Amino acid sequence: MSKSPNLLIPALGGTAIVLGAAYGLSQRGHGADQIEILEGRVAQVEAQASTARQKAETQAARAAELELQIADVQAAATKRAAMPASLTTTAPEPDGGFGLGRAALPEEIAAWDVDVLPDGRGLPEGTGNAFDGEEVFAQKCASCHGDFAEGVDNWPVLAGGFDTLGDKDPVKTVGSYWPHLSTVWDYVHRSMPFGEAGTLTPDETYAIVAYILYSNDLIDDEFELTHENLGTFEMYNRDGFVIDDRSDAEYTEWRADPCMENCKDTVEVTMRSVFLVETPAEGGTESTMNNATADGLPSFTAEGPSFIPAAIPKVEQEESSTDQTEATPAVQQADDGDDTSQLVVAGEKVFRKCKACHQIGEGAKNRSGPQLNAVFGRVMGSVDGFKYSDAFKAAQEEGRVWDDPAMAEFLARPKGFMKGTKMAFPGLKKEADIKAVAAYIKTFGE
Amino acid sequence: MDEMFKPSRRAFLKGSAAVAAGSVAGAAAAQNADPLITELQDWASYTGVGVDETPYGMPIEYESHVVRRNVEWLTASPISSINFTPIHALDGTITPQGCAFERHHSGAIELRKEDYRLMINGLVDKPLVFSYADIERFPRENHVYFCECAANTGMEWAGAQLNGVQFTHGMIHNMEYTGVPLRALLKEAGADISSDKWVYVEGADASSNGRSIPMEKALDDVLVAFKANGEALRMEHGYPVRLVVPGWEGNMWVKWLRRIEVVDRAVESREETSKYTDVLEDGTARKWTWVMDAKSVITSPSPQQPITHGKGPLVISGLAWSGHGQITRVDVSKDGGITWETARLGKQGDIKALTRFYVDMMWDGAPMLLQSRAMDETGYSQPTKEQLREKRGENSVYHNNCIQTWYVNAEGIAENVEVS
């Protein structure tokens, strides 16, 4: 499919027409001067024709060259396509491997391979009962899970919830939901207590697991849980699980061409978001309940919305300082220029890290951490009704008092300052945060 | 002023003020010369910041709102919690590591490469220990994958709850991983790779999160990854080494990976029995629901990203993904599901990775009920919330891949709603 003829035809054809016209004129007996003119023209036309011919030949040569290049590229592409694998092949895997790594030693495997299978394989020898377990649980677990495994704040509830699995908010506890007892032993032993994982002895673990079963009325307090009977213990919800059946139950139906037009007659808004989550210019998330109803919103048909709601009258945009006050609610209406009040505002944000466990302000109660009203100047470990670690009990006996340096050190490295504290929080890294949160805490007296 | 419109409204008013100046005069006929053009600006006269000012660059301060955020009341403590990727403010498909959602069970740990060990044991000929340097000597691959927490959109089972796509759909990120295929490590240790075997993977942090993966998947596309988006993993994503389990729920992507054990049955650990299982209406539960089904959401307009420019050209933008493979099509409805049109894909979707879609429209200022519906290579079409509830009830937390609806009013403010 050479392009050369196409390029040559217009060029040569054009010249032929001009030459033909000159010949026609010379046959009509004109004067010598005219012949001279015509001869001049012929010479001109021949010169033009020659130039055009040359040009056409150059173009034809170039076209032929490009043809060849195209053919080369096409041949290369065909060759690549015919290759068995693309160039982005998977990583090579030679037989016999790479000889990387070193042999794992038996004591290394023993240290890390501690998971327990549902049939009890992997359990170390040991024993425990609910009577012993109650004490261990109170000491190591109750600050989050409650004395009776009922759960504190948002921490997991471990007991009860039987017959709730069919409810909209099922209470999924060890008793009501967990299918295998091995899972409880394995998890408690490896991952609990929160902030002190891996410190429980096998016997402590058997005792805690027995106490959790006891809290669920699944055993009596004399039942001795051991490595021999744990793997065969039958849990309440052992038959409550089916293996993923979405491919039969759902995919068969939903792997179909979806509707594109007139899929419904009308559409109404039936619910509006319950929680408004604001994105403030800075800082964390504020969410507030939204009391809006679906009333007043248009219904939709194929013709569009039933009406266009009147725009809410526009409010003049105020200075951005208004935004800032709104974005930091509950902060004391203090004078903005004051350094302390700025510190307090910053401290309130930092305190969000503490809020999960500590309450402060009016009506503050002990949660998984003690309430913090008037903590500065108070003797350590002295809040009524809070179950302190042994470390804080000792500090209380010594009469140690929370002052600025002590608090700063504690907040920077809780476990460094008070070895044995139950506080799981790893500490505040920034000195500015420590100062700020201290200033915030100080705004709350008794 | 209506309380509920406060946050978005401010943004709207700010935006509309700027637009009013432009749209009243019209693009072709500005009445007053723009001082940003006619007057010499500081940045056009004074010199800027030199190199090395920030050896590792952060986004400019004007983008400081584009950050991960959490919802405090969801969990008991930030140490065992989750936050959300600001997907409302991102475009394209790759999630920058610095704003990719975090989920920790006992906090993010600082583990040096020098202190890193990976053990492979169980049903293997040669139990082995690898150092970090060993991992980097195996042939490696590059793949882009999404990682979605099974609980993404979990708060929406009961109804429209959280007013922001960051919070309803932000437990997802999408990165380009560099890593070693898990099968290479299994082979190196001479593992029993028969199809009835399982691989139990475990993290080095205090939670020692562990999950059981069937051998077929372990040999397929699972990666032992050490780089994301070209650089080392971030601490919060498992530095120095994490598992990448393409298309499967994020909880299985074990961070700070320290041990791989070949076992003859699923371990049925805490995370795979008491947590990442799906309670159905009758109280029974599905287990081993690993795959994340096809899902999509419009990221703009959305409650955190209202229309601020008034009528005229509007770009609707969103994300689609499927744990079963490639996204083949996304449809968008502006009337709550009566009429659908097929969206334009930003580029052909990668397998088990986020795909960006767009609908370019002229907005006439009429209210809209915006929805998107993803289809994947298996022909699966993303279900409505109603369809999901019919099959599963409302007891579940996980695997909610329903079609999301945003109500956009005449002012361009968007809100999370449920429709009939």
Quick one: tokens of B152?
A: 């993404």
CB B406 within 8 A of CB B416: yes
Please give, rounded to a whole number of angstroms, the shortest distance from the CA of B246 to a CA of chain A.
Answer: 16
Helix (H) or strand (E) holding B417: strand B414-419
Q: Report the range of poorest mean pLDDT among A168-182, A309-323, B297-311, B361-375.
A: A309-323
DSSP annotation of A258 reads P
Which of A91, A241, A300 minimises the CB distance to B277?
A241
Quick one: tokens of A15?
A: 């010249």
Query: Is residue A433 over pLDDT 90?
Result: no
The answer to whether position A71 is within a domain reads: yes
**A84: confidence class by pLDDT, cuts 50, 70, 90:** low
Question: Are A120 and A201 in the same domain?
Answer: yes
Domain ranges for chain B: 81-283, 295-417
CA Rg value for chain B: 24
Question: In A, which residues are within 8 Å of B210 by CB distance?
Answer: 115
Question: Are A171 and A220 in the same domain?
Answer: yes
Question: Are A71 and A128 in the same domain?
Answer: no
Q: Report the range of poorest mean pLDDT among A7-21, A118-132, A335-349, B56-70.
A: A7-21
Number of domains present in the structure of chain A: 3
Instruction: Show the beta-strand stretches assigned E in A18-126.
Output: 102-103
Residue pLDDT, tens place only, A372-399: 999 999 999 999 888 888 899 999 999 9
Which of A232, A257, A292 is the C-terminal boundary of a domain? A232
Q: What does each C-alpha distance from A328 to B5, B6, B86 come to in angstroms?
A: 17, 14, 21
The answer to whether position A102 is within a domain reads: no
Residue pLDDT, tens place only, A277-286: 765 544 445 6
**A3: confidence class by pLDDT, cuts 50, 70, 90:** very low
Question: In A, which residues are within 8 Å of B285 by CB distance?
Answer: 165, 177, 240-242
- Inform me whether the C-beta atom of residue B270 falls under 8 Å from chain A C-beta atoms: yes
- Inform me whether the C-beta atom of residue B18 falls under 8 Å from chain A C-beta atoms: no
Cα-based angle B227, B232, B235 (whole degrees, multiple of 5): 115
Residues in CB range of A205: below 8 A, 6 or more apart? A126, A128, A185, A188, A189
Which of A199, A232, A265 is the C-terminal boundary of a domain? A232
- Inform me whether the C-beta atom of residue B381 falls under 8 Å from chain A C-beta atoms: yes
Q: What does each C-alpha distance from A198 to A187, A390, A434 come to in angstroms?
A: 10, 19, 30
Quick one: tokens of B146?
A: 């999404």
The residue with greater pLDDT, B354 or A309, is: B354
Query: Is residue A322 over pLDDT 90?
Result: no
- Looking at chain B from residue 68 to 97, which residues have their Cβ under 8 Å from any Cβ of chain A? 69-80
Q: Tell me the percentage of chain A whose pLDDT exceeds 90.
A: 45
Distance CA(A153)–CA(A146), nearest Å, equals: 9
Helix (H) or strand (E) holding B122: strand B117-122
DSSP annotation of B319 reads E
- Find the domain containing A162 and state its range: 111-232
Query: Is residue A141 over pLDDT 70?
Result: yes
Please give, rounded to a whole number of angstroms, the shortest distance from the CA of B362 to a CA of chain A.
Answer: 15
Please indicate whether, in this complex, the C-beta atoms of B159 and A274 are within 8 angstroms of each other.
yes
The answer to whether position A314 is within a domain reads: no
Question: In B, which residues are within 8 Å of A264 by CB distance?
Answer: 336-338, 420
Please indicate whether, in this complex, the C-beta atoms of B287 and A244 are within 8 angstroms of each other.
yes
Question: Are A118 and A71 in the same domain?
Answer: no
**A185: confidence class by pLDDT, cuts 50, 70, 90:** very high
* Closest C-alpha to B105, from B288, B293, B276: B276
Quick one: tokens of B153?
A: 């959109």
Instruction: Show the beta-strand stretches assigned E in A206-352.
Output: 225-226, 241-243, 269-272, 275-278, 286-289, 300-301, 304-305
Phi first, then psi, for residue B84 (nearest 5°) are -125, 140
Q: Report the range of poorest mean pLDDT among A213-217, A289-293, B409-413.
A: A289-293
Question: Are A155 and A209 in the same domain?
Answer: yes
Cis before B240? omega within 30: yes
Please indicate whether, in this complex, the C-beta atoms of A292 and B379 are within 8 angstroms of each other.
no
Domain at B81-283: CATH architecture: Alpha-Beta Complex (3.90)
Which of A182, A205, A232 is the C-terminal boundary of a domain? A232
Which of A169, A290, A297 minimises the CB distance to B4?
A290
C-alpha neighbours within 13 Å on the C-beta side of residue A262: 0
Question: In B, which residues are within 8 Å of A302 by CB distance?
Answer: 335, 338-339
Question: Looking at residue A221, what is its pLDDT?
Answer: 85
Question: In B, which residues are within 8 Å of A311 by CB distance?
Answer: 410-411
Question: In A, which residues are within 8 Å of B340 by CB distance?
Answer: 258-261, 263
Average pLDDT over residues A78-88: 68
Distance CA(A94)–CA(A42), nearest Å, equals: 80
The answer to whether position A66 is within a domain reads: yes
Whole-model pTM: value is: 0.75
ipTM, 2 dp: 0.89
Please give, rounded to a whole number of angstroms, the shortest distance from the CA of B43 to a CA of chain A.
Answer: 24
Bridge partners of B82, per DSSP, are B103
The answer to whether position A411 is within a domain reads: yes
- CATH label of the domain that carries residue A362: 1.10.760.10
Which of A93, A155, A165 minimises the CB distance to B279?
A165
- Tell me: domain B295-417, CATH 2.60.40.650, correct? yes
Chunk chain B into consecutive blocks of 10 residues (it has 420) and report each block's average pLDDT, rounded to whole numbers: 38 42 52 94 94 93 91 83 95 98 95 98 98 97 97 92 93 98 97 97 94 98 98 98 98 98 97 95 96 98 93 98 97 97 95 98 96 98 96 92 96 93
Distance CA(A268)–CA(B2), nearest Å, equals: 22
Q: What does each C-alpha distance from A216 to A182, A236, B158 come to in angstroms?
A: 16, 10, 28
- Looking at chain B from residue 230 to 249, which residues have their Cβ under 8 Å from any Cβ of chain A? none
Distance CA(A411)–CA(A421), nearest Å, equals: 12
The answer to whether position A407 is within a domain reads: yes
> Do strands B341-342 and A127-128 pair parallel, antiparallel, or not at all (unpaired)?
unpaired
Q: How many CB atoms lie within 10 A of CB A357?
A: 23
Question: Looking at residue A274, what is its pLDDT?
Answer: 79
Question: In B, which residues are within 8 Å of A115 by CB distance?
Answer: 200, 202, 210, 261, 267, 269
* Closest C-alpha to B173, from B149, B209, B141, B142: B149
Candidates A265, A277, A325: best to mutate against B (most CBs of B within 10 A) is A277
CB A127 within 8 A of CB A189: no
The answer to whether position A129 is within a domain reads: yes
The residue with greater pLDDT, B375 or A421, is: B375
Question: In B, which residues are within 8 Å of A254 by CB distance?
Answer: 380-383, 387
Please give, rounded to a whole number of angstroms, the shortest distance from the CA of A71 to a CA of chain B.
Answer: 29
- Inform me whether the C-beta atom of residue B192 falls under 8 Å from chain A C-beta atoms: no
Cis before B301? omega within 30: yes
Question: Are A145 and A186 in the same domain?
Answer: yes
Question: Looking at residue B60, what is its pLDDT?
Answer: 94
